[in-house]
Amino acid sequence: MPADSKVKNLISSRVSLAPMAGITDYVLRSLVREYSPDCLVTTEMISSEALNQVKDTVITARDENHSPISYQLSGHKPQMIANCAKYLEKFADMIDINMGCPVNKVVKGTDGCALMKHPDLAAEIVRTVKSEISIPLSVKFRLGYTFDELNFVEFGQTMQEAGADFITIHGRTRSQMYGGKADWKRIAELKRNVDIPVFANGDVISPESAAECLEQSQADGVAVGRGALGDPSLLYRIEQYINRGIYLPPPTLEEKIETLKKHILKEIELRGEDVGIKFCRKFIPYYLVGFPGASKLRGELVLMEDFKKICSTLDGILVKF
């Protein structure tokens, strides 16, 4: 099957789960998949340097129902990334190269968004990886490194010429980090100048914002990042809204609490109780928001180390509200 046909099959839903380091792990992908059987899900960022040393079974974990799934790699050494991509091919339906992460510890090593300052190296990475795998290859990047370096159109064209089959673009520069507002209209410039599918990323936090993003960006689909935190049903609700015009309301507090308990339990099953509970602390603020006393309650829960006590505390919220 030609690469373009494979990509179309992978993005048939027009919604994807964007990669988030330390966030889009096996458990979160599983929760998203309970609602949406068709959306493309992407793993958390996997360092090619680390994977080259140790084949981490937690970070590569997946179930059969995780397909369609893309595994994201970071790095700046073409052959090392290619070797890791070849290893991951047995798990993945697509390989994604991270060229958009803005975090200091990533860009200082010429990884992530720093590659937008080195398009020749970025193209070499794509060509080398493409030569080693038989599944589609995608690239995720930003508008540019700074507002004075908005090279996203040229960069996207270079990635396409090097062999990329699919693009996800975050509508911010590296200098913005995650602040300000994503510029969806600029993404339309990229869409007009490449032939491969483009998904828009940034500030897609509801079905309505997804529809607005698609209208402004003219992209083929949307990649949902932080909007899915505390609401793994969001991707399904976006699918229903943009594909069928059906608006499904956000989850109730009771539904959020039940999902949070399930989230913590799945992390415990994956990592053990101590590590699993600590890992989940970052998610608690996203699930528990918008009701009286939420801040105080979140502060108490992130200090708890016993799953039964956490569940008892969460159940107590429903008694009050």
Catalytic residues: 101
CB-neighbour burial class of residue 1 (10 A; exposed 0-12, middle 13-18, buried 19+): exposed
d(CA 23, CA 36): 18
**Nearest-5° angle of CA 112, CA 279, CA 37?**
75
Q: Which whole-number Å values give the CA distances from 10 to 49, 71, 126, 134, 306, in the listed order?
A: 27, 13, 19, 15, 40
Q: DSSP labels for 274-303? A: HHHHHHHTTTHHHHS-SSTTHHHHHHHHTT
Nearest to 78 by CA among 122, 44, 109: 122
| Rounded CA separation 41/16 (Å) | 6
Is residue 168 within 8 A of residue 175, CB to CB? The reply is no
